[in-house]
Structure 1
Amino acid sequence: MKVLLVARSFKKGGAASGAKNLKLALESAGAEVVEIEASKEQVGKVKTAARVVERCFERVLFDAETHFFKFYPASLNILRLIENHKPDVVQLCDVSANTISFKDIRKAPCPVIHRMSDFWPYHGAKHYAEKNSQNLLSNSIFKLIIFNENNVPCCRVAPSIWLAGKINENKEVRSKVRHIKNAVVCSSQKRKSLSGKRVLRFGFISGNIDDPRKGFSDIFKGLEYLQAQGQKVELHAFGNPSNVKAVRSTNVYVKFHGPFSKDSLHWVFDEFDILLCPSKLDNSPNVVCESFSYGCPVIAQSGTGIDTYVNGQNGKLFDFQNASDANLERFRILSLEITECYEDYSECAFLFAKNELSPEKIGSEYMSLYRELLK
C-alpha cells in the first residue's frame, strides 16, 4: 500500500517526532511511504515573510498562535501531490491552514486521514483561550479560511482518548475519529537502580521551557514540599530556557541543559530519575512515550492525553495546579512510592513502550484503518 505522508516537519519539535515515528511504524507494517515535508516548501523571502505576518496577526487578534489564519497560499497543493504520486491513501500529520488547503480535502480522489497531534485545526482560537470561544470574528475567519463541515478528512486519528473526546466536542464537524496510540522505538539501554542515591533527580522537557501551556512553574510547589520534608531534590530542565521567572524564587537546585537533539536522548534520560509532565494541554504525549522507551517512569498532569499512557505501574497521575497541603503530601507519597520500587516502575515503563507502542503494532493498526476506508 502506498501512503502519502504529509507533515510540516519530520525534524523539529514534538509533533515532528510523532510524524517521524508514524513513518517508521507504517514502513514496519509494509507500507510504501512517500514523505512530504512542508517546511522544505516554505522557502523564499515572500513566503517566509507571509507566514511570520500571519502568526503576528494571530498574536495581536487572538492572543495566541492559533495556526489557522492565512492570507498567502498554502505551502503544499494536496491535489497536485496526489496526482504526481498516486497514493492509495493520504496521511496528514501536524498540518495547519498554511500547510495545506483544507478545502482541497473534499476533492481528493483517495481517503485522507489526519493524525492529530493537537485539536486546534478544528477548534481554532478555542484551543488556547476560552475567552475566544465566543469570538465571532475568530469563528468567522476560521470557517472562511479552513472549512465548513464538508472540509474534513475521512477519518481523524487521536493518539489519546482525551484528544478524541476534544475532537468530538465540535458537533459541527462530522467525520470518523479513531484512537491509535503513538509509536516509539525502545532503547536497548536499561535504567539503573536508585539504591544508595540520596538525591532524587527530576526531569522536565519542553521545546520552550517557559511556554505557559507546559506548566513549568507548577512543579516547584511539590519539589519545595519534598525538600522541606527532608528529601534532597534536583531538577534537570531540557529545552530553551528563555526568561524563566519561576526559578528566581525557589530554593530547589535547577540545572538548565539547553536544547538537545534526538540522537542524544539516551544522555537526556540518564540525567534524571523521574520525568515530570505538568502540561495542561498534552494532546499527544510524545515525550512520555520516549521516557517509557528508556525505562524512565513519569509523574504527569491528570486530565490530559497522558491519562491514556500512564497506568499506575509505569508512573503516576497528579494535579500540579492544586497547591493544597493535602495534594502536596500526595506528591511526596507518589514520588517515594516510585523511588522505593524504582526497578519495578522502570521495567513496567519499558515494557509498556515495547508491547503497546512498538512501530510494528501501531503500524498494523493504521494499515487496518486504511483497508477499512478503502473498502
Structure 2
Amino acid sequence: MRILMLNYHAKSGGASVAMNRIAEGLEEAGMTVKIASLNGTTTRSVGLPGAVARRIRLSRRMESLVLRLGGVTGAADRSFNLWRTGIGDWVRNLDFDVVHLHWICRGMVSWQDLSEIGKPLVWTFHDGWAIGDGRFYPFSEMDAYSIPSDRAQLLRMASRRFARRRARCLEKVKPVVVTPSKWLASEVERFGRFKEAARCIHNPLDRFWDASRAVKEAVSTRRWVVGASGFDVDPRKGGFLLLQAIRKMQAEGRFPEDVQLALFGGGGVDTRGLPNGIRWLGSLSHEQIRNVFEESELFICPSLIDNFPNMIAEAQSCGCPVLATPVGGVPEMVERGASGELSLSASAESIEAAMLQWESEWRFQYRKNAVKAFAKKRYDVAESVRLHQEAYEMAGRDGRA
C-alpha cells in the first residue's frame, strides 16, 4: 500500500513528529510512505509543484492579514484556509492508495482542495481545528484568551465562511477520522461536524526514544525539568500558572532547597522571583533532551488544554515521571503510581499543591525503569501501525474520497 501524508511542516512541531514516527513504523511494516509539506524536507518528501507552493504561501499571507486586522497578535491561535491552492488537483493525479492528512492549516489545504483530492482519506486531528470555528483549541478552557469582541467582527465573518465551506466539503468527503486521544475523539462526537465516530490511535514513540533501554535509578542532582517553549507567547502552554506557583513557593520558603529547576526550549522566560538555582538550558537537540530527562527526577507539564503532548511520552520513555494538569488527553498519558501524577485542576494553586505533595510523598513511589515500562507499553509503535493499517483499509474499502 502506498500512503501520501500531508502536513504543513516536514519535521518541526508536534504533529510532524507524530507523523514521522507513524511513517517510520509503517515503512518497517512494508508500506511505502511519502510526505508532502510546505516547510522543510525529509528523506520521505515529495516536492510540491512550484505553482501550488506559491498559492499556499499567498494564502498564508492573506490569512495573516485577516488575523492581524482581527486583533490576533503573538502566537496565532486559529487558521481559516479560505483560499483554494490547487493541492487537491495535484494529489489526485499522484499514484497513492490513501492520503493521510495531518496538520494542514496555515492555508495549506482548503476545504475546497480537500473535496478535490478524490482518493481515500484518513485524517489525524492533532488539535480541534477541523471541528470548531477555526481556532486550534475551540474549547471553553481557552475562552478567556479569545480576541476582545470589539476586534472580533472580521474573525467572526471568517469563521462563518470557514463553517459554510466545511459543511459543503463534508457533503462530498467522508474521511476516516483518527485522534491521538480518547478525549479528542469524544469532542469530535460532541461537536457533531463529522458523522462517524473518530478512531483513537495513540501517537507512538520511535526507535530513538527506546523505552527498553535501562537507566540508572538514582539521579546525581534533584532536578525538576520544564519544556518552556512558547511560555512567553502562548497561554495554552500554562507557563504563567507554573511560574506563578513556583514564585509563591519561593516567596514563602517552601520550594525545596535541594531541587534544581531547569527549563529548556525556544522563547524566553522572566526568571525574576524564581529559585536562585534555576538553569535556563535554551534550545536542545533530541539527544540533549533525552539526557536531561534521564537525569531528572520530574517533568512538569502545566498545560491549560492539550491533546496528546509528545513530550510527556518522551519524558516517560526516559524513566522521568510526569506532573501534569488534568486537561484534554493528558490524563490518558498519566497513570498515578505508574507514570506520574495529576494536579486537581489547571490552576496555579493546584499546581503548587501538587508540587508540594510530590516533594512530601509522591516522589518516593517511583522507579525510573518502571516508568519506562509504562511508556513502552502505552506508546507501542507496532500497535499504532496495526490500527493505522485498519484505518487505511477502511478508507479504501468504503471509497472515502
TM-score (norm 1): 0.85
CA–CA separation in structure 1 for the residues paired with 2:216 and 2:249: 22
Q: Which residue of 2 aligns with 1:166?
A: 187
CA–CA separation in structure 1 for the residues paired with 2:20 and 2:162: 28
CA–CA separation in structure 1 for the residues paired with 2:378 and 2:274: 38
**1:348 partnered with 2:370:** yes
Q: Which residue of 2 aligns with 1:81?
A: 91
Query: Which stretches in structure 2 are left out of the alignment for 5+ residues?
Result: 41-47
How big is the shift at 1:125? 4.1
Q: Which residue of 2 aligns with 1:284?
A: 308
**1:249 partnered with 2:303:** no
Q: Which residue of 2 aligns with 1:141?
A: 161
Q: Which residue of 1 aligns with 2:177?
A: 156
Deviations, residues 173-220 of structure 1 (Å, cap 9, x unaligned): 32431111011023364333236x5x5311111432322211112123
Distance 1:279 1:241, change over 3 A: same
1:212 aligns with one of 210, 235, 256: 235
Q: Which residue of 2 aligns with 1:30?
A: 30
| Number of aligned residue pairs | 366
CA–CA separation in structure 2 for the residues paired with 1:93 and 1:296: 29
Distance 1:319 1:79, change over 3 A: farther
2:80 aligns with one of 69, 89, 98: 69
**1:202 partnered with 2:224:** yes
Distance 1:47 1:157, change over 3 A: closer
**1:360 partnered with 2:377:** no
Distance 1:366 1:62, change over 3 A: farther
Identity of counterpart residues, as a percentage? 22
CA–CA separation in structure 2 for the residues paired with 1:122 and 1:341: 40
How big is the shift at 1:290? 1.1
Deviation larger for 353-362 or 308-317: 353-362
Decide whether the 8 Å contact of 2:5 with 2:33 is kept in 1. Answer: yes
Distance 1:83 1:170, change over 3 A: same
How big is the shift at 1:118? 0.8
1:235 aligns with one of 261, 274, 277: 261
Decide whether the 8 Å contact of 1:194 with 1:339 is kept in 2. Answer: no
Amino acid at match of 2:239: F
CA–CA separation in structure 2 for the residues paired with 1:252 and 1:30: 52
SS in 2 for 1:78: helix
CA–CA separation in structure 2 for the residues paired with 1:255 and 1:145: 48
CA–CA separation in structure 1 for the residues paired with 2:342 and 2:39: 35
Deviation larger for 172-181 or 120-129: 120-129
Decide whether the 8 Å contact of 2:217 with 2:369 is kept in 1. Answer: no
Decide whether the 8 Å contact of 1:58 with 1:66 is kept in 2. Answer: no
How big is the shift at 1:68? 2.7
CA–CA separation in structure 2 for the residues paired with 1:3 and 1:45: 24
How big is the shift at 1:252? 5.4
Deviation larger for 254-263 or 304-313: 254-263
Deviations, residues 329-359 of structure 1 (Å, cap 9, x unaligned): 443223444421332xx22321122122122
Decide whether the 8 Å contact of 1:201 with 1:235 is kept in 2. Answer: yes
Distance 1:250 1:304, change over 3 A: same
How big is the shift at 1:102? 2.3
CA–CA separation in structure 2 for the residues paired with 1:150 and 1:176: 16
Amino acid at match of 2:286: K
The RMSD of aligned alpha carbons is 3.1
Q: Larger % of strand: which?
A: 1
Decide whether the 8 Å contact of 1:114 with 1:153 is kept in 2. Answer: no
TM-score (norm 2): 0.80
How big is the shift at 1:236? 1.2
Decide whether the 8 Å contact of 1:278 with 1:301 is kept in 2. Answer: yes
Q: Which residue of 2 aligns with 1:57?
A: 66
Q: Which residue of 2 aligns with 1:180?
A: 201
Amino acid at match of 1:204: V
Decide whether the 8 Å contact of 1:58 with 1:69 is kept in 2. Answer: no
How big is the shift at 1:42? 9.4
Distance 1:62 1:69, change over 3 A: farther
